[in-house]
């Protein structure tokens, strides 16, 4: 099954190119990636892009994520996405769905919907 990153992978590269952005995790990587005469801002997580463009970058990034979420929902459906999150956060082992709930907030998926899927899936293993 595809994941959200599947839908954002190519789009993030377009976004980075638009804002002279890159990911770097050491000074040598920063020095190698940066262009002369451009000031950069660190956004955390190794992300750098042209300074003074934070609002525009954030707006484009938010739109990219919203479009990717809609595509993910369309292609995979809520139930499969919930199961994917529950598995990724090992909720079936820990019996704690809080990380899955947090990760699916932007999807518009409620805690109650996640609990319902969790209970059904968990009951399949009780037999």
Residues 43, 23: Cα–Cα separation, whole Å: 10
pLDDT recorded at residue 124: 85
First to last CA, the chain: 27
Domain boundaries, the chain: 1-76, 78-127
Beta bridge mates, 48: 22, 42
Q: Is 45 left (phi over 0), alpha (psi -120 to 50) or beta?
A: left
Indicate if the alpha-carbon torsion angle 17, 59, 62, 7 is positive or negative: negative
Residues 37, 81: Cα–Cα separation, whole Å: 44
Contact between residue 67 and residue 81 where contact means Cβ atoms under 8 Å apart: no
Residue for token digits 């990587």? 29
pLDDT recorded at residue 2: 85
CB atoms within 10 A of CB 76: 17
List of the chain residues with pLDDT < 50: none
pLDDT recorded at residue 122: 87
pLDDT tens digits for 38-62? Answer: 999 999 999 999 999 999 999 999 9
């Amino acid at each position: 099954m595809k994941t959200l990153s599947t839908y954002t992978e190519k789009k993030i590269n377009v976004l980075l190119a638009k804002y002279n952005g890159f990911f770097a995790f050491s000074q040598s990587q920063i020095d190698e990636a940066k262009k002369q005469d451009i000031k950069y801002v660190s956004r955390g997580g190794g992300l750098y892009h042209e300074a003074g463009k934070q609002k525009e970058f954030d707006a484009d990034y938010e739109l990219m994520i919203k479009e990717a979420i809609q595509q993910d929902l369309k292609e995979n459906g809520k139930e499969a996405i919930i199961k994917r999150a529950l598995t990724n956060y090992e909720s079936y082992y820990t019996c704690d769905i809080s990380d899955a709930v947090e990760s699916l907030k932007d999807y518009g998926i409620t805690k109650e919907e996640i609990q319902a899927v969790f209970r059904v899936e968990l009951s399949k293993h009780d037999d």
